[in-house]
Amino acid sequence: MSVLKRISQFSLLVLLLPLFYSCELDDDFDLDSDDPIAMYLGGWSVSDNATKLNYTVTIRRNPENSTEVLIDNFAGSGDAAKALVTGKTLTLTSITVGNGWRISGYGTYKNSGRIDFWYSLTISGDQEERFALFSR
C-alpha cells in the first residue's frame, strides 16, 4: 500500500508542478511600459439613446493630468469633458460642458471597439439619464 501511496503523491506533484511554474513573472513584462490610456484614444462614433442622437467624439490625452483623458464633443455639446481613467472605467470629472450643461457619470471599456457610457445631463434645470454607445 505504501508504494501505491507514493505513486499517488508523485502523480499529484507532477500534476501540480506546472501550476507553480506558470505563476512566474515573465522576464520581458514591464509594468512601466503599460499605458492604461492608450486603449481609449482616437475617434469614436456615438449612438446616444436618449434622443436617438448620433455624433462623433475624439478621446485624447489631457496634457494637464496624465491620469485623465479629454472627450471632445461629449454629449454632442461641441465641448470637451474630462474623465479620470481607472483601468477599464472612465469617470467624468468635468462638471459642465457646452453652454452650461451639467454632467456626471462613467463609461466602461468593453473592448477595442466599444465603450458603454451612462451619464446624467442637466440642461436648463431639466435632467436626463442617458446611455451612449461609443463604437469604432
pLDDT digits (tens, 9 = 90+) for 46-88: 999 866 889 999 999 999 999 999 999 999 999 999 999 999 9
The CATH superfamily assigned to 37-135 is Calycin beta-barrel core domain (2.40.128.20)
pTM listed for this prediction: 0.74
Q: Is the pLDDT of residue 11 over 90?
A: no
How is residue 31 annotated by DSSP?
A: G
Cα torsion 57, 78, 92, 87 to 10°: value is 20
Question: Coil, helix or strand for 112?
Answer: coil
- Are the CB atoms for 132 and 120 separated by under 8 Å? no
Eight-class DSSP state of 34? -
Residue with cell 492604461: 36
Alpha carbon of 129 to those of 32, 75, 104, 123: distances in Å? 38, 12, 10, 12
- Provide the grid cell at 17: 508542478
Q: Among residues of the chain, what percentage have pLDDT more than 90? A: 68
How far, in whole angstroms, is CA 107 from its chain's centroid? Answer: 7
Instruction: Return d(Cα 65, Cα 82) in angstroms, integer.
Output: 10
Alpha-carbon gap, residue 82 to 37, rounded angstroms: 13
Contact 65, 50 (CB under 8 A): no
